[in-house]
Every structure is written in structure tokens, then in C-alpha cells.
Structure 1
């Protein structure tokens, strides 16, 4: 039996907070000491005291800044997320905001609200509509920074609207490259995706090399009166530089998903309350994805879409025993593991070692189960965080 601690309302359509669909071998628990897995959405769990049985933290969404990744890795706890599961929701909102703000829709609507008690509102609306003349997006240039799960969809949607789309992503995957519309013009530098653009939208994760990547230099390269959109992470944008560009008139509008003490005071800025992925469909997609990842790891040791351990997939456990070792990525580890197993009668059918930064994952299939003395010997290897023994019938 696996015990799952559910934090937050993961998705309305998932019965019993996501546990029921996992099957009879899963049970919900409120006891962190007992939990094998945590399902979380938005709550910050940095200060939670994890129990000794915890194997998995599954984040129903893409961002993982609410999870102590290194702490989990060093305890052999695999953290999963749901990249791309909410990408359509973000794509639709970004495309819609580009259209509505190009037409000055919000100001026009606010004018009507301000004049709702005017008995001559019909005649006055006709007189004043010229104050809200906007522009069509067809044929206009837009730079899309980041062509991953979200950015690739945004780029394709803007192509469909008739825009002249330029994309920049130095880490573009083969999968997302195949998904890109051929009309998207890929450029090789950040400067090139900013130069002369009338619109700029960013879709990259927050990392050391992306924080404040849009600053004064990039904004100066944009076309006059450009529109900037940030539906990625708040710190991708240098807020002081954006504020100055809005004050000077370099930027016509700033549209973002992050209300901060600075953005809420910027002129010509429209802010949504971090709702880029807030649709029922996106919540369901994220929940189903991370539940599947969590279940596959607990039952088979498979790692897909982990943010602190490398991907590894041997498929279902069919016979004998599967040994999963989570450990430091240091020299000599495989030799030590092989040496211990070499002193037994165990026959290794498959073996792989994958690394991600400071941490690594070794997975082995054997024809027969390991005895406890061998398991203890493996556990004494320096740098081993956790050992899991998985059989076809029981994890």
C-alpha cells in the first residue's frame, strides 16, 4: 500500500483529491510521517518536515519554486512536475491579450463603465470611439523568447493570426522544433529576437541565466511603442528597466501575470493575478500528468519529468527484482555497485546509470531478488541516498 499526502485542491475533476484514480494500492493520509508521496499545487512546502518514507513530491504544474529541490534530492526524494500540461491555457491567454490590447479594448470598456449613467451614452460613444483607435496585428513583428511547451504554441498561434513571428531558444528540443510552424523565423541571439520587434513575449523558466534577461539593452532594441508581455516568471524581467521604458514612452504597454510592489505602480501596465494556467482543463491535465508520473515511479522506478533527477525508463517490472539507487554523481559509484553484486549469484539483465548535475540514478533488473545482506552492503556505499527494491507485485 502507498500512502499519499494531498496538499491543495489539485483538480476539481479528480475524485478524492487524485488518490482514487491510482487504484486500490493507494490510500490518502494526513500523516506526513507515513506518506510515500506528496501531491502539491501552489502551497510552499519548504518548511515541511518530511517523513522517512517519502519517495516522491509531485507538483501539479510547471513551476517548482515552492519545493526544496536540493533537500529532496539529497534525501532520495524525486520531484516531478507537469511541463506543458497547461501550455494551451497560457497560449490562449497570451494571444488574446495581444489582440485585445492592440485594439485598446480595456480603455474602451472602461469608458463605457464610466459613462453608464449618461442618458446620451449611445451618441457619446459614437463621438468618443476615435479615442480608442487601435491597430491590427496582422503583418506586425513579434519576438517569442523560449520555444518550449508554451512558447512553441504561442509562436504557432501568432503565425495563425498573420503576425511575422521570430523565435529564440538556444536550448530548443527536437520535439518542440518539429512542432514549430515553418513560418516561425528562428534567430540565434537574444538581441536578434528583440531588434525592431513591435511585440515581445517571454516564455522561459526562471534560472540564473534567464533572470533579468529583458533589461534596458533589450528594450532599447525594440520598435518604438512596442508591447511587452511576461507570462513566464516575474524575475525574467528587470522591473526597473521596464518601468523606465514605460515612463519614457519606449514601451506602449506592459502586460504581465505578476503583481509585485513595482509592477502595480507602473503606467500603462495590465496585470493578471498569476492566472495564466487557471483553467479547469489545465488543472486536470497537470493533475493527470503528475499522478501518472508518480504512479510509474512508485511501481516501476520510472522517472519522467523530474526536476532533480535524470530521466530513466525500463518499462514495467516483469520478473525478478528491480533495484533503484539514488546517489551522488561521483566517480567510482558504478564500480562499487557492480563489485558488491558480483559477489552474489544475482544475474543482472539490464543496468543503466543516468546523471543530472550533482545527483544520479542507477537502475538494475535482476532475475532473482536480492538478499538483505546485499541490500545493506549497497547502502553502506558512500554517496548513496536511498535504495529501493521493486518487484512485479509489490513496491
Structure 2
């Protein structure tokens, strides 16, 4: 029986993928085998010794202590692309809000309450104060061509915008999905010099913190509109304030406002609604549940942020899962121990990621004794062993 702890409300369409005859699910549960969460901050949480996996129903994992989990052999999953369409639609809406002052106009229209029959005439008189621009023919710069960036770029191209993209790490998978109408450039300055709109679709890391700063603003044309539906820390808000005051930035729309944003003029602050759709929440929950179940039952890893991807079909016998430091002579030591235990390796998969090696080993024997686990853990460099009988 596996125990699943939910630290946030998780869509039931995802949780129902765990069969009740083999899983127990609760928000308060002792010694969980896995945790599924959304935005709950785990950094101050004591990680139970039974914990094998943490699954984030979403893309960002800043709320999870990745390094601590890795040290304990806990695999951390996220769900890239599951909420991509919801965020894409939010970015398109943000471009419209930045181009046409719908928010200001709607607020002004409310001031006409009580004017009775005068309202239609007053509307016609006042609308000139809220004239805007169309998206067609404008240039959109897309920074980051992952799951969300590609969808945004393709949607903008369909709206007959001129779309240019930049991503030095773009995968072949995402490149194949990118519309031929999108121009890809190798330099960030070339990208920013042309842009009427800039949308940021990259993860927040120590390297990307404050990515949009005074140096980047200096590359942009006057009156540029910035859209940030990725992470708040990607934009230096002190530099943004100066860029708005100088007229370099005419509008900033963010899904991650802070106190500084809320006090700035020409900033539209949206309370993190990018992926807040029923469809996104369902898709994320389903993907998180599928990945968690596959790892607990079969040791297969897909969409982990700290362990290598590794998937191998079961052969019907027992399966041994081993994680170790990526150093020489580990596979031979593992093989020797299994041989002394009379276990024949039917199939084996070895994958590496940075300093971690991950092994899936199928043996013909069923019900492998727990003493095998103890001997393997005694090997210097091996920090996680699971036996799936």
C-alpha cells in the first residue's frame, strides 16, 4: 500500500488515477511515499524518511527544496506543458490589455452610472480617450521557446504579427512544433531592437534572476510593451520603474506582481492567473499522478527536475532501483553484489544526469530479499535503493 500526501487541493481527475486497493491519499497522512502539491512551500518542511517522490502539479519548482530532496534520493517531478495552453491564452490577453486600455475604459464606463439616457452619447464622447493599437503587423519578441513560448509564438503568428524568437537551448521537440512563420534569431540584442512587444517565457534560476534589466531595456525601442507570465524575479523592478518613467516601456503586464509593481503607473498586475483554468489544473494533476504512480510501481522516471529520465518495460520478475554518485566502477560493484546473491540480470538501464547515475535492473527472480538492499547501500556512493517485487 502506497501513501500519497496532498499539500494543496489537487484536481480529483488526477487523484482518481491512484487505485484505492493500492493507494491511500490524504492531506494529513504519516510516513507518505509521495507528495503531490501545487504552490505549497516545502523548504521548512521536515522530509519523512519514507518519502520517495515529490510531484509538482505545475512547471515551477521554486517551492520545493530540490537539493535536499536529491541528497535523500527523492525524485522531484514537474508537469511541463500541462498548463501551457492556459498560459498562452493569458499572454495573448495580456497583449490586448497592453494595446487597448480595456481596463481603464471599463472603469471609466462605471462612472456613468446614474446618467440615464445620456449614457450612449457620453460613451461616444469619451471613447476617444481610450484609443489603442491593433496587434496585426506589430513585432513580438519571444524569449524562451519551450512548451509555452512555442504556443505563444504560433498564436501570435496566426494573428498576423511579426514574430521573432530567441532560445539558445531550444530542444528539437519544440523546434519541430514552431510555426514556419516565426523567425528564430541567435542574439538577444537583435531580438530586442525590433520588438514592439516582449514576452518572457524562461525559468527563474540564479542565472536568470533580473534577466530583464537596464542593459536589456537599453536595447529596446521606445514605447515597448513587456509581458511576464513566467516568474516575477525575471524582471528587475527597480530598473523597470526607470524604464517606465523614461518612456522606454509603455506598459508592463505581469502575472507575478509585488508591492513595487502595484505602486507603478502603466503596470497591469494580474494575480497569478496564467494557469488558473479548470483545464490546466486537471492536466497538471493527471500528469503528476501518472508520473508518480509510474515511479512508485515501476521505478520509471519522466519529467524529473533532479534525476535522469529513465524508462524500461518490466519483464515480470523483481526490479531493483539504484541511485548513486556518477563515479567509475559503480556498475561492476552492483553486478558483483547481485551475482553473489544468485541474482541474474535480465535487463538493465543506466542513465546519468550531472553527478547522479540511476539504474533500473530487472532480475528473473521474484521476491528479492531485503538483504540485497542493505548490501547495496553499504557501497560508497550508493544513496538510494528500492526493491520492487
Alignment of 1:199-214 (within 5 A): 199-214=197-212
* Alignment equivalent of 2:87, drawn from 90, 94, 102: 90
Alignment of 1:28-47 (within 5 A): 28-29=25-26, 32-47=29-44
Determine if the alignment matches structure 1 residue 237 to structure 2 residue 230: no
Call closer, same or farther: CA 1:309–1:226 in 2, change over 3 Å.
Answer: same
Q: Which has the higher contact order (CA 8 A, sep 6+)?
A: 2
Unaligned residue ranges in structure 2 (runs of 5+): none
The 3-state SS of whatever aligns with 2:357 is: strand
Residue pair 2:3, 2:29 contacting (<8 A) in 1 also: no
More deviation, 113-122/145-154: 113-122
Q: How much has 1:252 moved relative to structure 2?
A: 0.7
Pairs aligned (count): 386
The 3-state SS of whatever aligns with 1:326 is: strand
Aligned mates of 1:331, 1:236 — CA distance in 2? 39
In the alignment, what sits opposite 2:7?
7
In the alignment, what sits opposite 1:79?
76
Q: How much has 1:339 moved relative to structure 2?
A: 2.7
Aligned mates of 2:101, 2:273 — CA distance in 1? 21
In the alignment, what sits opposite 1:65?
62
Aligned mates of 2:135, 2:290 — CA distance in 1? 40
Determine if the alignment matches structure 1 residue 20 to structure 2 residue 16: yes
Alignment of 1:90-109 (within 5 A): 90-109=87-106
In the alignment, what sits opposite 1:133?
131
Q: TM-score, normalised by structure 2?
A: 0.95
Residue pair 1:32, 1:51 contacting (<8 A) in 2 also: no
Alignment of 1:1-395 (within 5 A): 1-11=1-11, 13-14=12-13, 18-23=14-19, 24-29=21-26, 32-119=29-116, 120-315=118-313, 317-369=314-366, 370-391=368-389
The 3-state SS of whatever aligns with 1:97 is: helix
Call closer, same or farther: CA 1:47–1:32 in 2, change over 3 Å.
Answer: farther
The 3-state SS of whatever aligns with 1:376 is: helix
Aligned mates of 2:27, 2:273 — CA distance in 1? 28
Q: How much has 1:100 moved relative to structure 2?
A: 3.2
The 3-state SS of whatever aligns with 2:274 is: coil
The CA RMSD over aligned residues, in Å, is 1.6
Q: How much has 1:21 moved relative to structure 2?
A: 2.7
The 3-state SS of whatever aligns with 1:253 is: strand
Aligned mates of 1:390, 1:268 — CA distance in 2? 57
Aligned mates of 1:31, 1:200 — CA distance in 2? 43
Unaligned residue ranges in structure 1 (runs of 5+): none
Aligned mates of 2:154, 2:56 — CA distance in 1? 27
Aligned mates of 2:282, 2:385 — CA distance in 1? 32
